[in-house]
Amino acid sequence: MTDATTPTPKRASLLAVDERTRKRNAAEARFKIYGIVAICVGVLSLVVLLAAILSNGIPAFQRTVVQVPVTVTQEQYDAAESTLFKTKEYEGLFVAALSAELTSAGIEADISSGALERLVGKVGNNLRQFYTANEVQLGQEVLFEVPAASRIDRYFKGTLAVENITADNRFIQPQDLDVAEAMKDAGLMATVFDWNFITGVDTGVDNPGGAGIGASVLGSLLMMFVVLFLALPIGVAASIYLEEFAPKNRLTDFIEVNISNLAAVPSIVFGILGLAVFIQYMHLPQSAPLVGGFVLTLMTLPTIIISTRASLKSVPPSIRDAALGVGASKMQAVFHHVLPLAAPGILTGTIIGLAQALGETAPLLLIGMVGFVARYPETFLGGLEGPNSALPAQIYNWVSRSDAVFTEKAWGGIIILLIFLLTMNIIAILLRRRFERRW
């Protein structure tokens, strides 16, 4: 009971902030500062990461080339083709053209066979291949673009210092760099975009500059193809059954818990499982994108199942009631109404699962997808079965090689990997935006 005679307590002025409020406000301000600091740390590390990747990786997309106009006549071609050491003859023709250019540019240089090799490597075969394929070009001037030797390339990219070149170095000599500088000034040498890095295949230590990531991109795409066509139908079917049809009992609870656990299993465990089951027991080919796809499917399934179940759950039950109420069967209700509404969520989950699988390296190491792949597969099926590498495995492989050019290529490979991941995430976001429904 309220006592009418109780005097109302004296109220402090609203204009003055009391002790409690002041403390609360201070706590709130502190929390905001923590938040801002946390965000700053996050953004800063992202900036540092991106800057490091871009500054190290961009040179991988550029390449120093020697551009020399060469004219080979029909007689010279016939003469070269009739000798035993054909490429040697073509090299002579190239040297002749190059020294003519050097003389007209006023550069004095020794381009004996040793010096030429230090400058551009072996070029005879390039010429021969071109002319045997394009005989019509005989007698006409053709601008040949020959990749410069990797040391020259590194010198122009600033990763090779003159002081570090010893006199007995058989790959490069200090005077070669002077010649290269002069050639660059004369327009005989240029830095161009290196398409070969994107389309090419892996190379050995004799030609690190020519290594490309194309074959391993193809390997990754083949694996994603396998993952998409296995994990999406299996995952979606499993989640629809679990979410819409399965009775809720101990067994389904147990399955649910285990699916969540599977999502947290380290990927290398899936790798060793793939090795034991697919390769050692089922005798599927080693290093094949097919097996890689199987392993990554196992790894992606829990992600897809969890996200699909979440998006099925988010469809309001009133839609199911409405469908059942007009006499739709359970399956019609799910496939005509629930699934279309859950589709954007399912697709987003699938793409995120695929992106995870694309960046996965550990399981691929165990099934041998880190090999040296110097050829594109000839057919689609051959590509699935034949040995191949994958983007992250190729990057890992390059980093472990000694030549600094390969390290640069690895950074370049990371940029390509990130572009793929970014594209997939953007597609996921766009899908979500595009199909978001109101009800």
Partner 1 sequence: MYDDTRLTEGDVASMNTKISAKGVDVFYGDNHAIKDVNVEIKDKTVTAFIGPSGCGKSTFLRCINRMNDTIDVCRVTGDIRLDGEDINDKRVDPVQLRARVGMVFQKPNPFPKSIYDNIAYGPRIHGLARNKAELDEIVEKSLRRGAIWDEVKDRLNAPGTGLSGGQQQRLCIARAVATQPEVLLMDEPCSALDPIATGQVEELIDELRQSYSVVIVTHSMQQAARVSQKTAFFHLGNLVEYGDTGDIFTKPEDPRTEAYITGRIG
Q: How far is the CB of 312 from partner 1 (least distance, A)?
A: 15
Closer to partner 1 by Cβ: residue 88 or 330: 330
One of 23, 24, 313, 336 touching partner 1 (CB under 8 A): 336
Residue 354 phi/psi, 5-degree rounding, is -65, -40
C-beta of 209 vs 344, nearer to partner 1:
344
Map the footprint of partner 1 across residues 339-368, applying CB under 8 A: 341
Query: Applying CB under 8 A, what is the total number of residues that bind partner 1?
Result: 22
- Answer for which of 34, 281, 380, 439 binds partner 1 (CB under 8 A) is 439
438 lines the binding site for partner 1 (CB under 8 A): yes
Smallest distance, Å, CB 385 to partner 1? Answer: 45
Q: How far is the CB of 261 from partner 1 (least distance, A)?
A: 25
3-state secondary structure string across the chain: CCCCCCCCCCCCCCCCCCHHHHHHHHHHHHHHHHHHHHHHHHHHHHHHHHHHHHHHHHHHHEEEEEEEEEECCHHHHHHHHCCCCHHHHHHHHHHHHHHHHHHHHCCCCCCCHHHHHHHHCCCHHHHHHHHHHCHHHCCCEEEEEEECCHHHHHHHHCCCCHHHCCCCCCCCCHHHHHHHHHHHHCCCEEEEECHHHHHCCCCCCCCHHHCCCHHHHHHHHHHHHHHHHHHHHHHHHHHHHHHHHCCCCHHHHHHHHHHHHHHCCCHHHHHHHHHHHHHHHCCCCCCCHHHHHHHHHHHHHHHHHHHHHHHHHCCCHHHHHHHHHCCCCHHHHHHHHHHHHHHHHHHHHHHHHHHHHHCCCHHHHHCCCCCCCCCCCCCHHHHHHCCCCCHHHHHHHHHCCCCHHHHHHHHHHHHHHHHHHHHHHHHHHHHHHHHCCCC
| Contacting residue, 134, 261, 314, 332, with partner 1 by CB under 8 A | 332
To the nearest whole angstrom, how small is the minimum distance from the Cβ of residue 328 to partner 1? Answer: 6
Q: Binding of partner 1 at residue 158 (CB under 8 A)?
A: no
Residue 27 or 322 having the CB closest to partner 1: 322
Selected range binding partner 1 among 96-104, 331-339, 352-360, 392-400, rule: CB under 8 A: 331-339
Among 122, 337, 401, 432, binds partner 1 (CB under 8 A): 337
We find the least distance from the C-beta atom of residue 316 to partner 1, in angstroms, to be 8
CB of 246 to partner 1, least distance (A): 10
Task: Find the helix packing angle between 150-157 and 404-435, rounded to 10°.
Answer: 70
| Stretch near partner 1 under the rule CB under 8 A, chosen from 84-92, 199-207, 210-218, 332-340 | 332-340
Q: What is the Cα–Cα distance from 368 to 386, expressed in whole angstroms?
A: 12
Rounded to a whole number of angstroms, the minimum distance from the CB of residue 318 to partner 1 is 4
Question: What distance in Å separates the CA atoms of residue 294 and residue 299, rounded to the nearest whole number?
Answer: 9
Under the criterion CB under 8 A, does residue 250 sit at the interface with partner 1? no
Cα–Cα distance between 414 and 60 in angstroms, integer? 11
**Positive/negative CA dihedral, 8, 14, 18, 23:** positive
Residue 342 CB, nearest approach to partner 1 (Å)? 12
In the complex, minimum distance from the CB of residue 335 to partner 1, in angstroms, rounded to a whole number: 11
Q: Does residue number 184 form part of the binding site for partner 1 (CB under 8 A)? A: no
Q: 15, exposed or middle or buried, with CB in 10 Å at 0-12, 13-18, 19+?
A: exposed
Per CB under 8 A, 326 contacts partner 1 = yes
Which of 61, 435 has the CB closer to partner 1? 435
x-or-dash string of contact with partner 1, 295-324, rule CB under 8 A: ---------------------x-xxxxxxx
Choice between 86 and 320, CB closer to partner 1: 320
Q: Is 248 one of the binding residues for partner 1 (CB under 8 A)?
A: yes
Among 115, 255, 263, 328, binds partner 1 (CB under 8 A): 328
Q: Which is nearer to partner 1, 91 or 243 (CB)?
A: 243
Neighbouring CB atoms inside 10 A of 360's CB total: 23
User: Which of 96, 319 has the CB closer to partner 1?
Assistant: 319
Residue (39 or 322) nearer to partner 1, CB = 322
Q: Which stretch binds partner 1 (CB under 8 A): 47-55, 253-261, 327-335, 406-414?
A: 327-335
Q: What CA–CA distance (Å, rounded) separates 420 from 155? A: 30
Nearer to partner 1, 78 or 253 (CB): 253
Residue 439 CB, nearest distance to partner 1 (Å)? 5
Q: Which residues bind partner 1 (CB under 8 A)?
A: 247-248, 316, 318-329, 332, 336-337, 341, 437-439
